[in-house]
Structure 1
Amino acid sequence: MYEPIRSGSSRRSVHTTAGTPSGVPHRSREEELEIQLAGHLAALLAVTDELRTTGPSADLDAAAERLSEQVARLRGGHAPVRAPVPASHTPGDAAALHRRAHALAGRALVVAASRADTAAAILAAERMDAHAAALEQAGAGEQPAQHAELSGAAR
């Protein structure tokens, strides 16, 4: 009633007889984590730059500079692309931006801890603390639930 399968599986057609992939690029776990960390830190930098439009802040300026340095280090010296926010830009809700930055810093902290990148982990934990404090100061509610768990992972 059923026809037998006559062609080889698609898996076998991709691999050589030795079982190694042919023509498929592979990265090590360390390389993948490095790419993830650079991405999380670059996203955090973008939100930090957006927060900087809400008002002058030496802390945010210093954080942006440190984030930029870390992203460049992880990308082999290539500085992150930073789009200047136009003067006519209406900044978003500061509390929402701080929540987003806190979440991004948490993701960066988890990846930095996975790859034992102390400098990035410390920076991410510091940014989590700063954004949680900004949320608390603004009265935007409770600190994010994972804050205590994640910031303790880097210390």
Structure 2
Amino acid sequence: MYEPIRTKSVHTMAGAAEDFPHRSREEELDIQLAGHLAALLAVTDDLRALSPDTDLTDLDAAAEQLAQEVARLRDGKAPVRAAATATGDDTPGDRRDPRLAALHQRAHALAGRALVVAASRADTAAAILAARRMDAHAAAQEGRQLAAC
């Protein structure tokens, strides 16, 4: 009535421990944290392309710190930095530009994710950097909301 099973079960353990790669929890957290910080760096680069000239000093410093932190987590490998993906006209917008608001919101969320992983990993330097970026993007969002009123 039933056909016998002819293949090995996918639920059994692999033959030897060397059959698949193993990473420690710390290594997995390093990978996650580097990924979140690299994504935050990409959004920061986009913000630098769209922001008014008055905001560039803070964004340049933040991008440099993020690049250093990603390189530290990746054993000295510098992150890939793509050209900014500005849409529409490439002239810097004013502070009420909806693209800037969306990028600040995205950066705030990415910094929050990085902060959670950094705290879980007990990486004080990355946690402080992520918290500062969260504060900066939250302030930028509030400034835009106040300017719109």
- Taking structure 1 as the reference length, the TM-score comes to 0.79
Q: Which structure ranks higher in relative contact order (CA pairs < 8 Å, sequence separation ≥ 6)?
A: 2
Name 1:115's counterpart in structure 2. 121
Work out which of the residue numbers 26, 29, 33 in structure 2 matches 1:30: 26
Name 1:76's counterpart in structure 2. 75
Measure the CA separation in 2 of the matches of 1:47 and 1:41.
Answer: 10
Name 1:44's counterpart in structure 2. 40
How many residues were matched structurally? 136
Q: Which structure dedicates a bigger proportion of its chain to helix?
A: 2
Is 1:125 aligned to 2:131, yes or no?
yes
> CA offsets per residue over residues 62-102 of structure 1, 9 Å max, x none?
10010010001001011111123389646770000000000
C-alpha distance 83-21 of structure 1, shift in aligned 2 (>3 A): same
Q: Percent identity?
A: 69
Residue ranges of structure 2 left out of the alignment (5+ in a row): 93-97
Measure the CA separation in 1 of the matches of 2:47 and 2:82.
Answer: 13
What value does the CA root-mean-square deviation take over the aligned residues?
Answer: 2.2
Conserved 8 A contact 2:46-2:85: no
> CA offsets per residue over residues 41-76 of structure 1, 9 Å max, x none?
000000001101122221111100100100010010
Residue ranges of structure 1 left out of the alignment (5+ in a row): 141-155
Name 2:84's counterpart in structure 1. 85
